[in-house]
A and B are shown apart, each in its own frame.
Chain A
């Protein structure tokens, strides 16, 4: 597994430094940014981890950054850090997809647990993304005829029925079917059905 990074964005440099000192006790990599813009400029979406984000910041606020990330289809889990009285803001943030929020002053154990959860969530999410990407790549390799055959197979039709449908011989269909199974790296028809559903869900 790739090394996980906790991205800390806080306009207060001392607070950011103190968070680094705290988070590093659980052997996580920490990158700190003094503004939302600095994070956008320096962030490499390929790096797994989570974002610890101050709600209140001059310039681009934490909520603004959340919006920008969503617009760029970056799904890094965000833990918002809010001050006293900003809870409503936090609720808004969570409603628009934030992973979690934590109110200052917070307990270190509490923060670290949330960070771990967020990181696990990110890992699962990235894993799924990867699988989907692979699936899409496999699917992209199918010929037009093979895709048509795949559609019929997952509907539960027999080779004969499919052959009648396309006006081809059952033998030819059987060759196509074997090709589809091979290209999609599927072990069974049930496997194919699952993949097909996943592809449809992403579409």
Chain B
């Protein structure tokens, strides 16, 4: 009995447990279901919210674009204007949107920029982001300089379907720049005249005196000798004068070097890369003027050099300008200047200036640092001569090389601060 009762009891217990478990599972499932339902609802609200948000954003963007003072437009690959904001319509001289929308953008591009504009369009449609400037003749015939920041617009699959262009009128800016450039050229011109030029004219004038005297005395002697009625003793005095004046002439020449030597150097620890950067900045406008680009290959973490930064800037400026002028004078199709810096063994830093100009004739390359040597139509031949003096005063060296296929390389070294202090 007790066994039976026991068995019954066990069965009930098992059933009870099973029931409990089932109930528990049901409750759990119900809860899960509710949870999922809630989440789903949440998602939907969220989705709605996002949707609203997107619409809001779109409206806001449109409002912004509409009121944007710069021209914002979409262009198709063939140049058709798809959309343009009111500012853009005004910029392009369209009275009504349909005057420009649906029309080719080329209608407002000046003829000389058409080709470049087409190329830029193609680049953007191949995925590039560009900034380009061009001259525009608006639908009303007004001339304006425009600068466009163009980015490719992609659809969900990543296909580029339009060019988004933000364009601003840079006419005034251009004019200001042009004026600044003129001002700058005048300044550099004046600066050159008052230093190099003044010096060169001064030297030329100084040198002319003894040379004229030598020529006159010598010719006077010759004429008397040829006329054959001369007492040789008469010729002694003028010939002595010739000798004196020859000495005087060479004294004047040595003054030129003294002049550079006398200008005291202000030696301090200087960052050569910093010097390169400032020279690039000084010569930026000149580079643009000559259609040249400057590329830098500067070694990082170079030791400091012991130098007069302003003097080194002059040397580098001179080399960079020479490069621009040589390339422009030779009408080189490719006008590039590479400036690189590197550390040398033995405590020195080397600076290299390479151009893509015509190079220098091998026969005269050794003379480029000589006084009064010049290949320029209006040069006086002082720049590199002074440059060499400056480099040598720093304890450095300078060399020029010309490549077989043209291109000139100038290389100079400047000792580092450590080198200086350890030698001192």
Chain B: minimal CB distance from A142 (Å): 53
Within 227-247 of B, Cβ neighbours of A (below 8 Å) are at 227, 238, 241, 244-245
Contact between chains at A105 and B241 (CB < 8 Å): no
Chain A: minimal CB distance from B142 (Å): 43
Please pick, from A12, A22, A83, the residue contacting B220 in the complex, using a CB distance under 8 A.
Answer: A22
Contact between chains at B213 and A85 (CB < 8 Å): no
Q: A56-B205, A83-B204, A105-B208 are in contact. Are A18 and B223 (CB under 8 A)?
A: no
Contact between chains at A83 and B205 (CB < 8 Å): yes
Contact between chains at B212 and A104 (CB < 8 Å): yes
Chain A: minimal CB distance from B215 (Å): 6
Q: Name which residue of chain A comes closest to B200, CB basis.
A: A85
Q: Name which residue of chain B comes closest to A112, CB basis.
A: B223
The answer, yes or no, to whether A163 is at the interface (CB within 8 Å) is no
The answer, yes or no, to whether B367 is at the interface (CB within 8 Å) is no
Q: A14-B241, A25-B223, A84-B204 are in contact. Are A19 and B209 (CB under 8 A)?
A: no
Contact between chains at A18 and B220 (CB < 8 Å): yes
Chain A: minimal CB distance from B358 (Å): 27
Contact between chains at A25 and B224 (CB < 8 Å): yes
The answer, yes or no, to whether A43 is at the interface (CB within 8 Å) is no
Q: Name which residue of chain A comes closest to B209, CB basis.
A: A12
| Contacting residues, chain A, for B153 (C-beta < 8 A) | none
Contact between chains at B220 and A24 (CB < 8 Å): yes
Cα-based distance from A136 to B213 in the complex (angstroms): 46
Cα-based distance from A25 to B213 in the complex (angstroms): 15
Please pick, from B208, B224, B241, B245, the residue contacting A104 in the complex, using a CB distance under 8 A.
Answer: B208
Chain A 74-89, CB-CB to B under 8 Å as 1, else 0, gives 0000000001110000
How many residues in A have their beta carbons less than 8 Å from beta carbons of B?
Answer: 17
Contact between chains at A84 and B213 (CB < 8 Å): no
| Contacting residues, chain B, for A108 (C-beta < 8 A) | 215-216, 219-220, 223
Within 9-50 of A, Cβ neighbours of B (below 8 Å) are at 12, 14-15, 17-19, 21-22, 24-25
| Contacting residues, chain A, for B223 (C-beta < 8 A) | 22, 25, 108
Contact between chains at A105 and B213 (CB < 8 Å): no
Chain A 59-74, CB-CB to B under 8 Å as 1, else 0, gives 0000000000000000
Contact between chains at A21 and B208 (CB < 8 Å): no
| Contacting residues, chain B, for A25 (C-beta < 8 A) | 220, 223-224, 227
| Contacting residues, chain A, for B219 (C-beta < 8 A) | 22, 108
Please pick, from A17, A21, A22, A85, the residue contacting B204 in the complex, using a CB distance under 8 A.
Answer: A85
Chain A: minimal CB distance from B208 (Å): 5
Q: Name which residue of chain A comes closest to B204, CB basis.
A: A84
| Contacting residues, chain A, for B145 (C-beta < 8 A) | none
Cα-based distance from A18 to B244 in the complex (angstroms): 12
Give chain A's interface secondary structure class: helix
Please pick, from A19, A22, A24, A84, the residue contacting B208 in the complex, using a CB distance under 8 A.
Answer: A84
The answer, yes or no, to whether B210 is at the interface (CB within 8 Å) is yes
Q: Name which residue of chain B comes closest to A26, CB basis.
A: B223
| Contacting residues, chain A, for B204 (C-beta < 8 A) | 83-85
| Contacting residues, chain A, for B214 (C-beta < 8 A) | 18
Q: Name which residue of chain B comes closest to A109, CB basis.
A: B219
Please pick, from B216, B227, B244, B245, the residue contacting A22 in the complex, using a CB distance under 8 A.
Answer: B216
Cα-based distance from A104 to B208 in the complex (angstroms): 7
Within 174-220 of B, Cβ neighbours of A (below 8 Å) are at 201, 204-205, 208-217, 219-220
Cα-based distance from A25 to B227 in the complex (angstroms): 9
Contact between chains at B224 and A14 (CB < 8 Å): no
Contact between chains at A14 and B201 (CB < 8 Å): no
Contact between chains at A18 and B212 (CB < 8 Å): yes
| Contacting residues, chain A, for B227 (C-beta < 8 A) | 25
Q: Name which residue of chain B comes closest to A23, CB basis.
A: B220
Contact between chains at A15 and B216 (CB < 8 Å): yes
Cα-based distance from A24 to B220 in the complex (angstroms): 8
| Contacting residues, chain A, for B224 (C-beta < 8 A) | 25
Cα-based distance from A15 to B217 in the complex (angstroms): 9
Chain B: minimal CB distance from A12 (Å): 5
Chain B: minimal CB distance from A150 (Å): 54
Please pick, from B201, B208, B241, the residue contacting A18 in the complex, using a CB distance under 8 A.
Answer: B241
Chain B: minimal CB distance from A114 (Å): 14
| Contacting residues, chain A, for B211 (C-beta < 8 A) | 105
Contact between chains at B220 and A14 (CB < 8 Å): no
User: Which one of A17, A22, A84, A85 has the highest number of Cβ atoms from chain B below 10 Å of its Cβ?
Assistant: A22
Chain B: minimal CB distance from A9 (Å): 14
Within 218-277 of B, Cβ neighbours of A (below 8 Å) are at 219-220, 223-224, 227, 238, 241, 244-245
Chain A: minimal CB distance from B188 (Å): 20
| Contacting residues, chain A, for B238 (C-beta < 8 A) | 18, 21
Cα-based distance from A15 to B214 in the complex (angstroms): 9
Contact between chains at B220 and A21 (CB < 8 Å): yes
Cα-based distance from A13 to B381 in the complex (angstroms): 29
| Contacting residues, chain A, for B220 (C-beta < 8 A) | 18, 21-22, 24-25, 108
Contact between chains at B212 and A15 (CB < 8 Å): yes
Chain B: minimal CB distance from A10 (Å): 9
Chain B: minimal CB distance from A82 (Å): 10
Cα-based distance from A19 to B238 in the complex (angstroms): 11
Q: What residues make up the interface of A, taking CB atoms closer than 8 Å to B? A: 12, 14-15, 17-19, 21-22, 24-25, 56, 83-85, 104-105, 108
**Given A15-B209, A22-B217, A25-B220, 6 extra CB contacts under 8 A:** A18-B216, A21-B216, A22-B220, A22-B223, A25-B227, A105-B212
- Between-chain CB contacts (< 8 Å), 6 pairs: A15-B212, A17-B213, A18-B214, A21-B217, A21-B220, A22-B219
**Which 6 interchain pairs have the tightest Cβ spacing?**
A18-B216, A21-B220, A108-B219, A25-B223, A18-B213, A22-B220
